[in-house]
Amino acid sequence: MRDLSSVLCIVSSDDKYRAIDEIISSCSVFDELPDKEKFREAVHKRERIQSTGIGHGVAIAHGKVQGVEHPYAALGFSKEGIVFDEKYPDPVRLIFVIASSPAHESDYLKAVAAILSWVHDPEFRRMLVACMDNDTTRRFLRMLRTQDFVPQNQG
């Protein structure tokens, strides 16, 4: 099993693109990709099309690249928060980055659905941002470490 630092990092940048780059370069889970630079470019391209900020201080940035057999995800924490989009002006503190393949869309959707099931819970978001150590946050972090994307109510 991966250690937590392979899927989790603290982001220091106040710019969303640089924050995404920090996550991709800091989280070693992305070292498993066939071409990390193409992935980074795909995430930036997707972000320019439409912001991946979803509100409530959460963003789920993503990019699709060929040769990825299953989704890879990591989480970056921004202590100060980053404004991702004027539509959702609340600062984003939880920045997920997901790599997937266009050939495995259902696996990507499963990963996003699982992450959303966790972060839509306001109490869970509060616990995660506060770095609380309890059964709930440990289950979520185990999901990230194993890259086995399971919705909150099924863990």
Cα(94)–Cα(96) distance, integer angstroms: 6
pTM: 0.94
Domain, as residue range, for 46: 4-148
Tokens of 117: 């099931």
Cα(9)–Cα(42) distance, integer angstroms: 21
Residue 45: CATH number of its domain: 3.40.930.10
Residue 113 in domain: yes
Residue 126 is predicted with a pLDDT of 94
Residue 116 in domain: yes
Strand partners, 8: 75
Residue 150 is predicted with a pLDDT of 93
Phi-psi region of 51 (alpha: psi -120 to 50; beta: other; left: phi over 0): beta
The structural domain count of the chain equals: 1
Q: Quick: pLDDT tens for 75-96.
A: 999 999 999 887 777 899 999 9
Q: Quick: pLDDT tens for 27-41.
A: 999 999 999 999 999
Residue 1 is predicted with a pLDDT of 59
Residue 75 in domain: yes
The ranges of the chain with pLDDT < 50 are: none
